[in-house]
Amino acid sequence: MTPPIHGYLRNDGRKGIRNNVVIAYLVECAHHVAREIQLPYRDRGVHLIGFSGCYPNEYSFRMMQALCTHSNVGTVLLVSLGCEGFDRKGLLSTIRESGRPAELLVIQDNRGTRATIADGREWVERALASLAETPRVPMPMEELVLGTVCGGSDGTSGITANPGIGRAFDRMVQSGATCIFEETGELIGCEHIMAARAATPELARELKASVAKAARYYATLGHGSFAPGNADGGLTTQEEKSMGAYSKSGSSPISGLIKPGDVPRAGGLYLLDVVPDGEVRFGFPNINDNAEIAELMACGAHITLFSTGRGSVVGSAIAPVLKVCANPETYRRLTGDMDIDAGRILEGRATLDEVGDEICERILAVAGGELTASESLGHQEFVLGYKSFEPVGPACHPTYQ
């Protein structure tokens, strides 16, 4: 399968499917100013992201490095208050070293709110004119990175949308793409099945350990990844939800285990471990679905496939979100927010293979420039909090050796 994709060529050699300007605030105190800079241009490919914390955190810094140098990003404006703990000069240096133009505005040094907004908007105007000249070049399937997440799951999710995404993942992996699935807290009970698909025995042990870590984390907090909305939608147990979530991964061999900010260096299927390492310090591993989407993007995802039964409407800054709706009744109520009606399977109007093929077709269309439903509606949600991770070892990357 050779997609008719022409990506935006970056100076670091990577290719993006979008040509975005990013406005990034580095503390909550700079959020308003950054938002005011971005608002007049939000329909012109200018996206707002940021970190709200005042105190430094290695995870959040690494995430911002990865997101500000994402292949869908062409240039970045950093907005700082001036007294926060974030390493703004370090982030600016990383962005510029990637070959992307970048600027830093420090509100306390730039005459305050009004002046910084005015200067920021002048910068955006110049940036948009410059990005219009970004060359587009052929982008083979081997350079495409896909992520998947589920949110607002119900009793139909594990029957239609999730396995439909799994079929699409199998086709994409076979074509050379990189596919990433995650939610280790929703794989509890599936670890042995998953480990049997690992490329090596050493990787199998790492996969099982990542799920065991998630189970310990949730046990310490006294809850699982099971929300009231899941029960209202017909799910009965964590294990039932896990089996449905697991089906998004398809049946391809698992090539590696990564953590937020790790960008796979070869095609294949990867598990993203999103549960913090060490003692429980940060509360919920992911406070909402957009936190997981951000972590998939930090691993290079050009597009995130989002499965939903109850009907989530969120999108994302930086990278498109493609909605696969599991429940036909939900699709009929929220047609304008959904991209694919996987619930047709329940009503006998499509097979799993047909839905998988449709997902693949839409992936290629979106990679070629077609807008997803969430993009057309202006959804650009973004969340980033505190976490802590240890680097993965060589056993997690057997395909690199």
- Decide: 147 and 297 in contact? Cβ < 8 Å: yes
Inter-helix orientation angle 289-298/58-68, to 10°: 70
Tell me what the pLDDT averaged over the chain comes to: 92
| CATH 3.40.50.2300 domain locations along the chain | 20-133
Tokens read off for 348: 């006998």
Tokens read off for 181: 């699935």
Measured between alpha carbons, how far is 19 from 348 in angstroms, rounded to an integer?
A: 40
Measured between alpha carbons, how far is 47 from 96 in angstroms, rounded to an integer?
A: 18
- Decide: 283 and 221 in contact? Cβ < 8 Å: yes
Across 40-54, 207-221, 324-338, least confident range: 207-221
Measured between alpha carbons, how far is 266 from 141 in angstroms, rounded to an integer?
A: 12
**What pTM was computed for the model?**
0.95
Neighbours of 58 (CB within 10 A): 12
Judge: domain 20-133, CATH 3.40.50.2300: yes
pLDDT tens-digit readout, 249-286: 999 999 999 999 999 999 999 999 999 999 998 877 87
- Does the structure show a pLDDT above 50 at 2? no
When pLDDT is averaged across residues 284-303 and rounded to a whole number, the result is 93
Measured between alpha carbons, how far is 221 from 280 in angstroms, rounded to an integer?
A: 8
pLDDT band at 151 (very low <50, low <70, confident <90, very high): confident
